[in-house]
């Protein structure tokens, strides 16, 4: 039997950040992870998907140049060796997960590779593998137990993963590219990876239950992405559900909201209909924690309903984003060390890494209205931004939302090429309580996409200069 002050189950961005910060604060910390540290994010999520997306964009750019490029660049028949692309992506993953392992070691975190099983709120067993009959290697007693077990892709019961039906994890490591791919779910993963596969030359179809793609975002923001989707030749099946594969496994059976049924011949199907918190298979039931639907219920300090049992990241609900998990992990470590902290961010920015990208931070005009805040909002289009023109990326805009009475900024949204990098400025302005005048009065470097941020603020004040 070993013992520690803080025991963390799960070494994803939530768990590993909590472990590093706790160790920095002198807390004796043990982290149990069954796979490589880094979790979904570093191994099969954020990082590998962005690598594949980048490679696909580069390849597609070259394909475009082989036609009549207005930039005057001519390229003859570019080809992609997908095995090398995957190896390059795996190299990045290896560098980052290796880096996290080194940081954990340097800070003195005791990392145990194995499957954690909860005995009670202060005792955890480690087995060699998941499953009730797996050999127990070790028992650990702790003062604080932090649950950071993340999430798993939702499986459609009538179309389980296997054979031609894949999850994002398999889609990130193709041995060969399929001729055609149907993507079920036009949310984050469906759009990010669906567009990447299309840019790699695969015939992609998107099947979405709602009547538009990316239904979580407001319609104006999605419009430029929808234009890009159509330009790529991706076929859209909206207000449509899937019934399963046909008997031969060669076509996907579809049903529209009007009840019309059809078959879509396809080589592979990626199911991306959401992720669910990982709350089973490790004895969590024994704690009888209060749940919020299918996720662990936590308060604004990430405390669960049991004293000294904490939960962070995807297992504690939406938004299931890596930076939220990290922020919660850091906070919990600091609270355990005695600091006063609460999780009340002014904004948790979200980026959809399509091309064009979408970024949102704080409230949209509709959300502000629903919250009863009287707001003004203004947008500035990239078609009037010099830097966007020089990047041959004029589509999209930046929008600001601010209180009408005192001009306090409550939200930012943008869509366009490379706008994910604006998320830092957006969130800083919200956390620092900036007003329209603060952003309008800040000198933004020329030429840059950021000038559209300043111009949106100027426009909200009624005196934009470049439109």
Tell me if 160 contacts ligand NAD by CB under 6 A: no
The secondary structure element, H or E, covering residue 63 is helix 46-65
CB of 202 to ligand NAD, least distance (A): 18
Reading the block at residue 438, the tokens are: 């603060």
Task: Provide the minimum distance between the beta carbon of 344 and ligand FAD in the complex, in angstroms, as a whole number.
Answer: 19
Taking every pair of Cα atoms in the chain, the longest distance, rounded to a whole number of angstroms, is 70
Q: Is 284 in the site for ligand NAD (CB under 6 A)?
A: no
The residue among 328 and 385 lying less far from ligand NAD, judged by its C-beta, is 328
CB burial of 378-405 (b: ≥16 within 10 Å; e: otherwise) equals: bbbbbebbebbeeeebebbbbbbbbbee
By the rule CB under 6 A, 192 interacts with ligand NAD: yes
Question: For residue 144, what are the CA distances in angstroms to 31, 284, 293, 378, 391?
Answer: 12, 15, 24, 47, 51
Contact call for residues 178 and 270 (beta carbons, < 8 A): no
Which positions from 221 to 250 touch ligand NAD by CB under 6 A, shown as an x/- string?
--------------------xx--------
Q: Give the binding range for ligand NAD (CB under 6 A) out of 98-106, 135-143, 253-261, 349-357.
A: 349-357
Q: Cα–Cα–Cα angle for 229, 232, 235, nearest 5°?
A: 65
Judged on CB neighbours under 10 Å (0-12, 13-18, 19+), 370 is exposed
Q: Using DSSP, state whether 244 is helix, strand or coil.
A: strand
DSSP 283: S
Nearer to ligand FAD, 151 or 379 (CB): 151
Q: Quote the least distance from Cβ 190 to ligand NAD, whole Å.
A: 5
Instruction: Supply 13's token pair.
Output: 């961005």
Which of 174, 185, 224, 416 binds ligand NAD (CB under 6 A)? It is: 185
Residues counted in the chain: 467
- Contact region for ligand NAD (CB under 6 A) — 21-29, 80-88, 226-234, 350-358? 350-358
Does residue 273 bind ligand NAD (CB under 6 A)?
Answer: yes
- What CA–CA distance (Å, rounded) separates 256 from 262? 9
Q: Does 210 engage in binding with ligand NAD (CB under 6 A)?
A: yes
User: What DSSP assignment string belongs to 426-467?
Assistant: HHHHHHTT-BHHHHHTSPPPSS-TTHHHHHHHHHHTT--S--
Nearer of residues 189 and 439 to ligand FAD, judged by Cβ? 189
Strand arrangement of the beta sheet that strand 375-381 belongs to = 350-352, 357-362, 409-416, 397-403, 375-381
Least distance CB 233 / ligand NAD (angstroms) = 20
Closest Cα to residue 347, out of 437, 411, 414?
Answer: 411
Binding mask 309-348 for ligand NAD (x = CB under 6 A): ----------xxx---------------------------
Q: In what helix (H) or strand (E) does residue 88 lie, and over which residues does it extend?
A: helix 82-106
**Catalytic residue numbers?**
446
Residue 12: name its binding partner from ligand FAD, ligand NAD, none (Cβ under 5 to 8 Å by kind): ligand FAD
Distance, in Å, from the CA atom of 423 to the CA atom of 400, rounded to the nearest integer, reads: 12
Whose Cβ is closer to ligand NAD: residue 4's or residue 41's?
41
Verify binding: residue 188, ligand NAD, rule CB under 6 A. Answer: yes
User: Is residue 353 near ligand NAD by the rule CB under 6 A?
Assistant: yes
**Residue 190 touches ligand NAD, criterion: CB under 6 A:** yes
Told to check if 272 binds ligand NAD by CB under 6 A, we report: yes
Contacting positions for ligand FAD (CB under 6 A):
9-15, 32-35, 39-41, 45-46, 49, 115-116, 148-151, 168, 189, 278, 282, 313-314, 320-323, 325, 353
Say which entry of ligand NAD, ligand FAD, none residue 251 contacts (CB below 5 to 8 A, set by partner kind).
none
**Cβ neighbours, 10 Å, residue 416:** 27
* Phi, psi for 104 (deg, rounded to 5): -60, -45
Q: In angstroms, what is the minimal distance from the CB of 259 to ligand NAD? A: 15
Q: Determine whether 462 is exposed, middle or buried from the number of CB atoms within 10 Å of its CB (0-12, 13-18, 19+).
A: exposed
Minimum separation from the CB atom of position 293 to ligand FAD (A): 17
In the bound state with ligand NAD, the residue whose beta carbon lies nearer, of 353 and 397, is: 353
Say which entry of ligand FAD, ligand NAD, none residue 33 contacts (CB below 5 to 8 A, set by partner kind): ligand FAD
Number of residues that bind ligand NAD (CB under 6 A): 26
Q: Where do contacts with ligand NAD occur on this chain (CB under 6 A)?
A: 184-190, 192, 207-210, 215, 241-242, 272-275, 319-321, 350-353
């Amino acid at each position: 039997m070993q013992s520690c002050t803080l025991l963390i189950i799960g070494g994803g961005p939530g768990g590993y950040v909590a472990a590093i910060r706790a160790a920095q604060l002198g807390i004796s910390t043990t982290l149990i992870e069954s796979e490589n540290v880094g979790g979904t994010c570093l191994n099969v999520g954020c990082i590998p998907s962005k690598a594949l997306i980048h490679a696909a964009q580069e390849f597609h750019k070259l394909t475009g140049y082989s036609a009549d490029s207005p930039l005057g660049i001519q390229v003859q028949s570019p080809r992609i060796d997908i095995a090398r692309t995957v190896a390059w992506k795996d190299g990045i993953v290896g560098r980052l997960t290796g880096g996290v392992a080194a940081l954990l070691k340097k800070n003195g975190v005791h990392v145990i590779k194995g499957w954690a099983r909860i005995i009670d709120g202060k005792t955890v067993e480690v087995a060699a593998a998941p499953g009730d009959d797996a050999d127990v290697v070790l028992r650990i007693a702790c003062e604080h137990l932090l649950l950071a077990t993340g999430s798993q892709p939702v499986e459609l019961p009538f179309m389980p993963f296997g054979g031609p039906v894949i999850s994002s994890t398999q889609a990130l490591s193709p041995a060969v590219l399929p001729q055609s791919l149907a993507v079920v779910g036009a949310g984050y993963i469906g759009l990010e990876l669906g567009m990447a596969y299309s840019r790699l030359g695969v015939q992609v179809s998107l099947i979405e239950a709602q009547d538009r793609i990316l239904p979580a975002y407001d319609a104006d923001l999605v419009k430029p992405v929808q234009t890009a989707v159509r330009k790529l030749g991706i076929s859209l099946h909206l207000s449509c559900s899937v019934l399963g594969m046909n008997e031969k496994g060669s076509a996907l059976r579809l049903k529209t909201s009007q009840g019309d049924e059809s078959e879509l011949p396809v080589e592979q199907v990626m199911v991306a209909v959401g992720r669910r918190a990982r709350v089973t298979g490790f004895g969590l039931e024994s704690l009888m924690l209060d749940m919020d639907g299918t996720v662990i219920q936590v308060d604004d300090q990430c405390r669960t309903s049991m004293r000294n049992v904490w939960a962070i990241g995807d297992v504690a609900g939406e938004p299931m984003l890596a930076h939220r998990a990290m922020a919660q992990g850091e906070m919990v470590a600091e609270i355990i060390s005695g600091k006063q902290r609460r999780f009340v961010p002014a904004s948790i920015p979200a980026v959809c890494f399509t091309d064009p990208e979408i970024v949102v931070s704080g409230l949209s005009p509709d959300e502000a209205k629903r919250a009863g805040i009287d707001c003004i909002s203004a947008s500035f289009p990239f078609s009037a931004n010099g830097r966007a023109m020089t990047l041959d990326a004029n589509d999209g805009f930046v929008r600001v939302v601010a209180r009408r009475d005192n001009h306090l900024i409550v939200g930012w949204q943008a869509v366009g090429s490379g706008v994910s990098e604006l998320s830092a400025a957006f969130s800083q302005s919200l956390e620092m309580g900036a007003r329209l005048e603060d952003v309008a009065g800040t000198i933004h470097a020329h030429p840059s996409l950021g000038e559209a941020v300043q111009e949106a603020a100027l426009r909200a004040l009624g005196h934009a200069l470049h439109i």
